[in-house]
Structure 1
């Protein structure tokens, strides 16, 4: 069962995290604007990859940044590959899966993939 099926347009996995589902291309402009108020993190997830699922669970367990300090977006890159491709172009990052991307002041300031995904690393952006 996918995140959309379980949680609708926003989802919380029971750990207090509120993900905004990234499903529309125009949301990229919105999140870039939001990043001037607080950093935005995008988690790119492959629903067919065990490594991606493991990384997502680990991230959700460890993430503890208040919602007003950082906004979380979730991208199912298999369903929305066009958005994933546009993220790579717009923010100048190489596509990976799984991957997190932090956008601040309209620019990518951090990205990590696979075993390098760490909720701890994001704290410095939310200070």
Structure 2
């Protein structure tokens, strides 16, 4: 029974660590848009009702240290924050999907992926090319 309870706690969708900046208000979307002028921003749209979303979130968290050296990691819980998720789709003119990852630089979407296209290796490669272009 304890094992089940531990598993259930992990799947609540609540932030387990300081890995992610949680987007919970409209002003948070504008803030990361502004921050993207100084540093790339990763937005991960996570669904607490989707097993694929949990698998991909875990993958990103395994590489969080490497990713965070090049970009800030932001998360929106799409079930709990549907209005924020919709605002992101509208602001960046991309169709909402979850799970979904969006990379921003200089106020523009430089890459987006959904479902199994979301993986840490691809994100790190995209961030590497952004870093090379800046030097």
Q: Tell me the TM-score range normalised by the shorter chain.
A: 0.7 to 0.9
Once residues 81 and 48 of structure 2 are traced to their aligned partners in structure 1, the CA distance between those partners, rounded to angstroms, is: 11
| Structure 2 counterpart of 1:15 | none
Q: Which has the higher helix share?
A: 2
Q: CA deviation at 1:107?
A: 1.2
Q: Deviations over 1:69-93 (max 9, x none)?
A: 2000011000000111111110011
Larger radius of gyration: 2
| Structure 2 counterpart of 1:105 | 106
Alignment of 1:15-30 (within 5 A): 18-30=19-31
Q: CA deviation at 1:68?
A: 4.6
Local SS of the residue matching 1:55:
helix
**Is the Cα–Cα contact under 8 Å of residues 13 and 48 in structure 2 kept in the other structure?**
no
**Is the Cα–Cα contact under 8 Å of residues 44 and 76 in structure 1 kept in the other structure?**
yes
Local SS of the residue matching 1:36:
coil
Q: Is residue 55 from structure 1 mapped to residue 56 from structure 2 by the alignment?
A: yes
Q: How many residues align?
A: 118
Q: Deviations over 1:30-76 (max 9, x none)?
A: 00010011100011000011111111112222344253520000110
Once residues 41 and 78 of structure 2 are traced to their aligned partners in structure 1, the CA distance between those partners, rounded to angstroms, is: 17
**Is the Cα–Cα contact under 8 Å of residues 45 and 75 in structure 2 kept in the other structure?**
yes
- Relative to the length of structure 2, the TM-score reads 0.79
Which runs of 5 or more residues in structure 1 are unaligned? 13-17
| Structure 1 counterpart of 2:117 | 116
- Relative to the length of structure 1, the TM-score reads 0.84
Q: Deviations over 1:5-43 (max 9, x none)?
A: x54xxx33xxxxx21011011111100010011100011
Once residues 68 and 52 of structure 2 are traced to their aligned partners in structure 1, the CA distance between those partners, rounded to angstroms, is: 26
